[in-house]
């Protein structure tokens, strides 16, 4: 017997479909799909959330110094003339960042194998590239879902039956995070 459902797709199509649905589930919190797909997505998503719960506190805070360009009141970079060339002035700033320990770094890379990158588009600039920002979904997994489900032993998702789909009568369900 197979360890997974084939979903009527080739392996590359199936992997892409499942990756996309897992990413959308973790980004939006719920998706509407067929029952067979939901059961496959649930397996993958719950494994990723369990990984996030396990590694949520596995980091250390490190102080680093960084060079940051100086900016004027309008937000433009301040330039100075050095040897006849205009050069940007830099300030040295000390920052405190999270540094992943090896097991958390491995977990991060395991998640990145499955999740696609997400881009958030502001509602007022729909269709324009300006103002969009890339979302770090893995950081959301550790910071939000890891903390949210810390006291829970599995069962992070719920499947609610919606009814048969009109076109092909496939059972539609809502797959959501609890």
Nearest 10 degrees: Cα torsion 118, 121, 123, 127: -120
CB-based contacts of 170, cutoff 8 Å, min separation 6: 34, 35, 164
Burial of 105 (0-12, 13-18, 19+ CB in 10 A): middle
Q: Say which CATH architecture domain 11-57+101-177 belongs to.
A: Alpha-Beta Complex (3.90)
- pTM, two decimals, is 0.83
pLDDT at 133 (0 to 100): 86
Domain boundaries, the chain: 11-57+101-177, 59-100
Residue range 22-52, pLDDT digits in tens: 999 999 999 999 999 999 999 999 999 999 9
* pLDDT tier at 124, thresholds 50, 70, 90: confident
Query: What would the mean pLDDT of 65-80 be, rounded to a whole number?
Result: 90
The number of CA neighbours under 13 Å toward the Cβ of 107 is: 23
- Residue 153 tokens, joined: 């032993």
What's the DSSP call for residue 92? E
Map residue 111 onto helix, strand or coil: helix
Whether the pLDDT of residue 131 is over 80: the answer is no
Residue range 1-10, pLDDT digits in tens: 568 999 999 9
pLDDT at 3 (0 to 100): 84
């Amino acid at each position: 017997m197979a360890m997974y459902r084939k979903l009527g797709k080739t392996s590359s199509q199936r992997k892409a479909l499942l990756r996309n649905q897992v990413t959308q589930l973790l980004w939006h919190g719920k998706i509407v799909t067929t029952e067979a797909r939901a059961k496959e997505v649930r397996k993958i998503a719950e494994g990723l959330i369990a990984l996030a719960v396990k590694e949520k506190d596995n980091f250390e805070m490190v102080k680093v110094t960084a060079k940051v360009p100086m900016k004027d009141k309008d937000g433009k970079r301040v330039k100075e003339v050095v040897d006849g060339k205009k050069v940007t002035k830099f300030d040295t700033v000390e920052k405190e960042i999270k540094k992943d320990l090896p097991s958390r770094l491995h977990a991060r890379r395991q998640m990145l194998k499955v999740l696609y990158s997400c881009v958030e588009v502001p509602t007022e600039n729909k269709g324009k590239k300006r103002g969009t920002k890339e979302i770090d979904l893995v950081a959301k997994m550790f910071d939000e879902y890891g903390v949210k489900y810390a006291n829970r032993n599995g069962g992070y998702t719920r499947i609610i039956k919606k009814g048969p789909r009109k076109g092909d009568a496939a059972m539609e369900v809502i797959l959501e995070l609890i």
